[in-house]
Amino acid sequence: MLRTRDAAKIGRTVYLATAAIDDGDWAYAVELGTAELPNLGLAKRWLGRRLERAAVPTTGAYGNRPYAWGRIERGTYEREVIDDPDYGLIEDANLRLDEGWRLFAYRQPDGSITWEEDIG
């Protein structure tokens, strides 16, 4: 059986951090980046820095005030076996996000970051 490079991640828990600017019409009007990190502390630090440094426009769609925001999700890599007609069985890793586990962050007008947990 062949193994992909990602197969080494099987069983590993990671934190996916995503930062964006919501222009008042679309939550991902400006994507500031995404990172996969090994622990929650690093994910919060990465996301906080992205939000602090974001150049947020003063006006957005329909006159709404745009804002920088982000999300952290936790997931675990699970084993997946693919039956490829040319190469046979291939072992790979598939990231399964934990349902109900999310952490949101919002940059306030004064530049501070507010964290909101949605951890089930």
Residue 93 CA to residue 66 CA, distance in Å, equals 37
What is the predicted pLDDT for the residue at 98?
95
Q: What is the mean pLDDT of residues 27-36?
A: 90
Q: What is the mean pLDDT of residues 10-38?
A: 92
pTM for this entry:
0.84
Q: Tell me: the pLDDT tens digits for 71-90? A: 999 999 999 999 999 999 99
Domain ranges for the chain: 10-78+95-119
Residue 20 contacts by C-beta under 8 Å, 6 or more apart in sequence?
A: 27, 28, 29, 30, 31, 32, 68, 69, 70
The burial of 15, by beta-carbon neighbours within 10 Å (0-12 exposed, 13-18 middle, 19 or more buried), is given as: buried
Q: What is the mean pLDDT of residues 27-46?
A: 94
